[in-house]
Amino acid sequence: MRRKIVAGNWKMNTLLPEGEVLVKQLEFLTEELESDVEIIIAPPFTHLAVLGKYIKETKMKIALAAQNCADQEKGAFTGEVSAAMLRNLGCKFVILGHSERREYYAENNESLYKKINLVINEGMQPIFCVGEKLEERQANRHFEVVAQQIKDVLYRLRGVELDNVIVAYEPVWAIGTGMTATSDQAEEMHAYIRRVIGDKFGEHADRIPILYGGSCKPSNASEIFSKSNVDGGLIGGASLDAQDFVAIVKSF
């Protein structure tokens, strides 16, 4: 039985007071929730200290994630935030390799490999994003592209390290576009990702949670989550609405 996970990526949205309201709404909506789904939120860096403290004090059943971290441990890296700093604020997870970071901030596999190691060494879990662009899917290269992303980064880990990783399959053409992959497209890719991981890591692949991300919302979540290789979702836009986000959690 694999873990079930729904993670909300707030991206660069909300001012801190708005983030506080959103967390209080989530607290209210999840108070009575009896669920085996792990709920994660990834607010902006600037919110983590305050929201981390609130989550800890109220014992909310929601875990905190960051959206990125530095690829260096510490030192003269102006503007960067280290994995240790995030751990210290109560983060349990760090999203790494999101397509927006690969696309707009030239995130590369070498840097991602360093980040994954730093996050794991701090006792946190990376949520490692992979996914193809529209032109790559149209050229029927989507399997090849995703396999390469996995090989370039995850294949360099040891099996025990891989056990801390969560993979998020996020077709770039589905992120923030309203175009969702069909549940069959998602299942096909998730099964493929598990096979690629299994080729190197054997049975570790059976345990790794693989989340789907890309315009996931209450109306399509249950169909997507019903697939056997889909272990949850990485939710962007819909995670900014507490009702929608919790409705997605309840879709399992």
Residues that bind ligand PEP in the complex, under the rule CB under 6 A: 9, 170, 175-176, 213-216, 234-238
> Whole-number minimum distance, CB 147 to ligand PEP, in Å?
21
Q: Annotated catalytic, 34? A: no
Extract the runs of DSSP E, i.e. beta strands, from the chain.
4-9, 37-42, 62-66, 91-96, 125-130, 166-169, 210-213, 232-235
Tell me the C-alpha distance between 134 and 186, whole Å. 15
Residue with tokens 């902006």: 44
Question: What sign does the dihedral 186-189-192-196 (CA atoms) show?
Answer: negative
Task: Retrieve residue 207's tokens.
Answer: 């345990």
Question: What sign does the dihedral 67-71-74-76 (CA atoms) show?
Answer: negative
Q: Which is nearer to ligand PEP, 120 or 235 (CB)?
A: 235
Count of residues making up the chain: 252
Tell me the C-alpha distance between 195 and 146, whole Å. 12
Nearest residue to ligand PEP, scored by beta-carbon proximity: 236
Q: Annotated catalytic, 170? A: yes
> Whole-number minimum distance, CB 111 to ligand PEP, in Å?
19
Tell me the C-alpha distance between 133 and 150, whole Å. 15
116 touches 165 (CB < 8 A)? yes
| R_g over Cα of the chain | 17
Residue with tokens 């995703």: 146
Q: Which is nearer to ligand PEP, 85 or 238 (CB)?
A: 238
> Whole-number minimum distance, CB 30 to ligand PEP, in Å?
19
Q: Which is nearer to ligand PEP, 54 or 229 (CB)?
A: 229
Of the listed 98, 142, 190, 204, which one is catalytic? 98
Of the listed 122, 132, 170, 187, which one is catalytic? 170
Q: How many CA atoms lie within 13 A of 104 on its CB side?
A: 5
Burial of 188 (0-12, 13-18, 19+ CB in 10 A): middle
Q: Which is nearer to ligand PEP, 116 or 204 (CB)?
A: 116
Q: Which is nearer to ligand PEP, 101 or 200 (CB)?
A: 101
* Number of DSSP helices (H) and strands (E) in the chain, helices first: 12, 8
Enzyme catalytic residues: 98, 170
